[in-house]
Structure 1
Amino acid sequence: MNYSQTVDAQSILVIGAGELGMPVLRNLARKAKAHEGTTVSVLLRAATVESIDPVKKRDVAEIRALGIEIVPGDILAASISELAAIFAPYDTVIGCAGFSAGRNTPMKLAKAALEANLKRYFPWQFGVDFDVIGRGSPQDLFDAQIDVRELLRGQDKTDWVVISTGMFTSFLFEPIFEVVDLKKNAVHALGSLDTEVTLTTPDDIGALTAEVVFAQPAIRNEIVYLAGDTVTYGEVADKLQTVLGRPFTKSEWTVPQLKSELAQDPDNHIKKYRAVFAEGKGVAWPKRDSFNERNGINVTTAEEWIRENLRS
């Protein structure tokens, strides 16, 4: 661990309030109450704040009820210098905008964080271990994340923290991913039935991110690994059978098969993700080595998620 002492109070800005941003904001607001002088803010587009969409209206109302300040800004429209000016008043900035913001946005935000001379920056890297996967993987978006890591490691003015979470648990069961087919009671293993994947829920990531942000001595310049569960695809099928009480067939989608399918449809992001997870590199790590396990923090296992979300 690479630690440094920091003052207790800090000003924190979160970029985005989506599937991960909301859990991060809720938990930061809760933890901030125990740290006098600490403030939490969120960067949102004006269109989001003014939206009549019921979900966005509910989220904005919750953000305000939590005492979180809303800072208007558009990470796509703003320049690096304009974003740096927004970031500059804060000690810590946490990126929760996700890949939907576009391939070039992670680097744009990282450059703005450095130009703002932040004390600490958490880039959007809530996912797999890009270092282990390396350049040239089936998911070309990952190369942009490696670029961000190299930029942050190549300087010493702003501390950084990367939080690796594996796959969002719910994504494994999304119909569009086709790994789990609940209608046909089938599991299509990526790579092999013995290939492992680390799964963590956004709610757990939010709670654990808050723990990392407020940890003393402060965590800096390192990768923090979280793990709700680390399982093989064969174990996923077994857990589905046990919890749902019906048999599931198991089949393997091999790496050559998935890469062949991707070659025929090279812009398909779902097929890119399937191929990279099938390779099994950098997508799983032992739960016993995770931040949550080492600190005795309870998280949702795959079986618990299935029990809570898939039993009708």
Structure 2
Amino acid sequence: MSNNNAILVLGAGQLGMAMLRHLAPRVNRIDGASLSVLLRPSAIASADPAKQQDLAELQGLHVAIIEGDLAAQSSAKLAATFSRYDTVISCTGFVGGPGVQRKIARAALDAGVKRFLPWQFGVDYDVIGRGSPQDLFDEQLDVRDMLRAQQATEWIIVSTGMFTSFLFEPDFGVVDLAANTVSALGSWDNAVTLTTADDIGALTTEILFAQPRISNRVVLVAGDTVTYREVADALDRLRPGKVTRREWSVAELKRQLAAEPQDTMRKYRAVFAEGRGVAWDRARTFNAERGIGVCGLEAWMRENLARPDQERPAAARGRISETLISE
């Protein structure tokens, strides 16, 4: 029988670890409650020092480690695991490949979990709609359709915009610190909503424990909403020398994508250039309504871009698969 206070987090990448760090103190104060994380066997057995450090931290947080493979296991097998939990929170991203998000959602519904938070910690897929340059987004809409078509399992979708650190990933191509260049996607007046992984973990925890209970809706959060011009201006203020500015039109980005249609970053650049569903007013967010402090763009930059010779932020280095894409 499912424990009413049993929470399972899927994945312990950048977002998963942030989620667990914020959930653990709350859960540990509740009698009979438990917090677990589902990890691949290879992650548990890894000799990588960073992975070992994360595992030690999880032990210190009293997080139980559950073995499982979201990509390899069947929906039925996952449902058997999920059925032991009241709440399942997916922090796994897209790296499992097409179909994995639908499989996870199907498993959560078949398991009869009371509450499910899918991997939707990103843009507003309803506004973007189907047929966008990033084909994986259609699967996110499939998941929303599955959740809205039933009533047995409560669901919450937390829309966060882009992970703040992802904006500074060289492979994404917007901010190139080494070349001191900023590239606007679509136009300099296009905006993007940004939220740090730590704030996503903190705000999702507040959403889960909010009273009155939040269920069956999309919740907007934001650390900041900025135009690409404001990004370039902030870099001019915080780093020596003026950045070189270039603008990529939607047409140009779609031509680039057509030349390499399987390139993930080109897909993302084209979506953000179109400007739909990728930014929202901070005043309409859960954190603004509740008066919860968050980390804005300049605060993040001051903390992570302190050294002018630093080519990429520490929070992003080696984490490209754990930001928008996660692990």
Amino acid at match of 1:87: F
Structure 1 counterpart SS, 2:184: strand
- The aligned counterpart of 1:68 is 63
Structure 1 counterpart SS, 2:95: helix
User: Equivalent of 1:79, from 39, 51, 74?
Assistant: 74
User: Equivalent of 1:207, from 172, 181, 202?
Assistant: 202
Deviation at 1:257, TM superposition (A): 0.5
- The aligned counterpart of 2:191 is 196
CA distance in 1, matches of 2:176, 2:43: 34
1:144 aligns with 2:125: no
CA distance in 2, matches of 1:33, 1:70: 16
Q: Percent identity?
A: 56
Structure 1 length as normaliser, TM-score? 0.96
Question: Bigger CA drift: 260-269 or 174-183?
Answer: 174-183
- The aligned counterpart of 1:115 is 110
Deviation at 1:181, TM superposition (A): 1.8
Deviation at 1:31, TM superposition (A): 1.6
Question: Bigger CA drift: 9-18 or 107-116?
Answer: 9-18
Check the 8 A contact 2:4/2:86 in 1, yes or no: no
- The aligned counterpart of 2:238 is 243
Paired positions, count: 305
- The aligned counterpart of 1:274 is 269
Check the 8 A contact 1:9/1:35 in 2, yes or no: no
Deviation at 1:37, TM superposition (A): 2.4
Deviation at 1:184, TM superposition (A): 2.5
Q: Deviations over 1:88-107 (max 9, x none)?
A: 01110000111112121100
CA distance in 2, matches of 1:20, 1:182: 24
- The aligned counterpart of 2:42 is 47
Q: Deviations over 1:214-273 (max 9, x none)?
A: 112221000011100000000000011111142112221010010011011100010000
Deviation at 1:9, TM superposition (A): 5.9
- The aligned counterpart of 2:211 is 216
CA distance in 1, matches of 2:195, 2:146: 27
Question: Bigger CA drift: 30-39 or 120-129?
Answer: 30-39
CA distance in 1, matches of 2:213, 2:28: 18
Question: Bigger CA drift: 177-186 or 138-147?
Answer: 177-186
CA distance in 2, matches of 1:209, 1:101: 23
Structure 2 counterpart SS, 1:157: coil
Question: Bigger CA drift: 40-49 or 114-123?
Answer: 40-49
Amino acid at match of 2:269: R
Check the 8 A contact 2:4/2:85 in 1, yes or no: no
CA distance in 1, matches of 2:25, 2:103: 30
Structure 2 length as normaliser, TM-score? 0.91
Unaligned 5+ segments in structure 2 are 308-327
Check the 8 A contact 2:194/2:297 in 1, yes or no: yes
1:177 aligns with 2:172: yes
- The aligned counterpart of 2:10 is 15
Unaligned 5+ segments in structure 1 are 1-7
CA distance in 1, matches of 2:183, 2:43: 37
Question: Bigger CA drift: 275-284 or 76-85?
Answer: 76-85
Deviation at 1:311, TM superposition (A): 1.9
Question: Bigger CA drift: 295-304 or 243-252?
Answer: 243-252
Check the 8 A contact 2:5/2:34 in 1, yes or no: yes
Check the 8 A contact 1:192/1:278 in 2, yes or no: yes
Question: Bigger CA drift: 94-103 or 105-114?
Answer: 94-103
Deviation at 1:33, TM superposition (A): 3.0
